[in-house]
Structure 1
């Protein structure tokens, strides 16, 4: 299942672009048209299969106009399948892969872990099934429409929790009412009561290395607290739970400062296929910018000039999630 994360919209919906400056930094090997990724037990990239806990094959399928990528993951210890799905993109975002059609995951013992279905916009649709390692049903979720995205005009959905059972088959939740716990592969979780499919009362969870608790009323966050290992307690509410990173200047002034620093010959500008060049970069936890990425048809000299112009202006105020600074991907359009 997809976890709710900090989603920030600048010009388009932005996700984390995992493509680094070199294949070595990502722990990639290239075998003809196949990309192989290696990961540790937390999902971080590592360089070799020997130091990995899982690995992933990405294979392009179809022609350029209708290309798909088959993404298959395996457990390193047993070489048994961990997940199987298709994507229109060969890189993951901050909310995960943009899967299309059926996506399945498996436990190390070979038992089916989940079965989900995604539409052409990578949104979950229909019913999703989740299982315990014994093969018993854990959760049944269906998707219901929750409106339209104001940015791209596509229908948005939200999960409706039909059933949640414990490992021996006792019902803990039926038709959106009862106890629910959501566990994720990296060891994080959140749990609490649902009433009419909305969070109600106190919810507890663990992520980013510390415990937190949140109080809900009718699905709306009233207050939250994060308990750091140092003993510090960070409080937040619905308005401060997710804060976007902020540039050192107001955005209109920031863009003017970028354009003032860019000096690119017309003959290079004429090589661009689009009026706007989308620049993706990461605002890190300390506010410094890194991992600049561009469309592959943008000449290297233009990339370098834009990157230098942006970095000259300085660091940003980092984004925050539940009181903690987080790295966030950001995209801005540059019109040359």
Structure 2
């Protein structure tokens, strides 16, 4: 189950170390540049298979006009399958993987852990099933339409929790009312009571190395506390729970400063498919900028000039989630 992040184009970034293998084509099915990512037990990227707990293979499938990527993960010790899905993109995006169709996840013992479905826009659809390692059903969720994404025009859905049971098969939640616990692969969790499918009362959880508590009324966050390991308590509410990175200048002044720094010849600009270039980068926990990516293939001199110009303006204040600084992806348009 995907976690919510900051908002729209400003979200927590998930990184991966990649290793490319040789290319080959098979008839009408195009397969090239398979990417392998290695991860430790906590989900952090590592460099080699030897030091990994799981590994992931990303294989392009289809022709150039309708290409998909087969995302398959394995448990390193046994080389048994951990997950299987298709995506329209070969990299983790702002909302996680942009899955299309069915996505399945398995426990190390081979039992099915989850079965989820996504429509052509990568939006969760139909019903999702979650299981215990014994094979018993843990949770059943259906996805109901709530709105239309104003940026993409795609449908937006909300999970409706039909059933949640303990490992013995006892019902803890029915039809959106009862106790619910959400567990994540990195060891984080979030648990509390739902009433008519809305969070209600006290919820507690653990992520980013510390415990937190939140108080809800009718699905609306009233107050929150994070308890850091050093004894510090951070308070937040619905308005301050998630905050985007803060630019070193006001937006208009920032963009003017960037444009003053950019020095690109007209000859290079004419080589671009579009003079509007969207650049995405990471604002790290310490405010440094890294991992610049561009939405089109552009000459290295152009991308280097834009990257240098953005970095030259100054350090940012990092985004925060529940009081903790987090690495956040940020996108800005550059018109050349």
TM range (shorter): over 0.9
Specify the alignment match of 2:28 in structure 1. none
Q: Secondary structure at the match of 2:125?
A: strand
- The CA deviation at 1:15 is 6.7
Deviations 1:159-213 (A, max 9, x none): 0000000000000000000000000000000000000000000000000000000
RMSD: 1.3
Contact preservation (8 Å) 1:166, 1:172: yes
- The CA deviation at 1:153 is 2.4
Specify the alignment match of 2:55 in structure 1. 55
1:66-145 aligned at under 5 Å gives the runs: 66-145=66-145
Q: 2:327 aligned with 1:332, yes or no?
A: no
Distance in 1, matches of 2:194 and 2:14, equals 34
Specify the alignment match of 1:236 in structure 2. 236
Specify the alignment match of 1:16 in structure 2. 13
- The CA deviation at 1:110 is 0.2
Distance in 2, matches of 1:118 and 1:15, equals 21
Q: 1:109 to 1:92 in 2, by over 3 A?
A: same
Q: 1:99 to 1:155 in 2, by over 3 A?
A: same
1:266-281 aligned at under 5 Å gives the runs: 266-281=266-281
Specify the alignment match of 1:178 in structure 2. 178
Distance in 2, matches of 1:170 and 1:294, equals 50
Distance in 2, matches of 1:31 and 1:114, equals 32
- The CA deviation at 1:221 is 0.1
Q: 1:86 to 1:208 in 2, by over 3 A?
A: same
Deviations 1:255-291 (A, max 9, x none): 1111111110000000010121111110011111111
Q: 1:259 to 1:267 in 2, by over 3 A?
A: same
Q: TM-score with structure 2 length normalisation?
A: 0.95
- The CA deviation at 1:27 is 4.3
Runs of 4+ residues deviating >4 angstroms: none
Q: 1:80 to 1:41 in 2, by over 3 A?
A: same
Contact preservation (8 Å) 2:12, 2:327: no
Contact preservation (8 Å) 1:319, 1:325: yes
Contact preservation (8 Å) 2:288, 2:316: yes
Q: 2:249 aligned with 1:249, yes or no?
A: yes
Distance in 1, matches of 2:257 and 2:210, equals 39
Specify the alignment match of 1:30 in structure 2. 21
Structure 1, unaligned runs of 5 or more: 20-25
Q: Secondary structure at the match of 1:125?
A: coil
Distance in 2, matches of 1:286 and 1:40, equals 24
Q: 1:228 to 1:239 in 2, by over 3 A?
A: same
Q: Secondary structure at the match of 1:258?
A: helix
Deviations 1:109-142 (A, max 9, x none): 0000000000111110000000000000000000
Distance in 1, matches of 2:224 and 2:12, equals 25
- The CA deviation at 1:94 is 4.2
Distance in 1, matches of 2:191 and 2:92, equals 27
Distance in 1, matches of 2:12 and 2:118, equals 17
Of the structure 1 ranges 248-257 and 224-233, higher mean CA displacement relative to structure 2 is found in 248-257
Q: Secondary structure at the match of 1:100?
A: strand
- The CA deviation at 1:297 is 1.2
Q: Secondary structure at the match of 1:185?
A: coil
Q: Secondary structure at the match of 2:72?
A: strand
Distance in 1, matches of 2:310 and 2:200, equals 44
Distance in 1, matches of 2:175 and 2:297, equals 50
Deviations 1:230-276 (A, max 9, x none): 00000000000000111011111111111111110000000010121
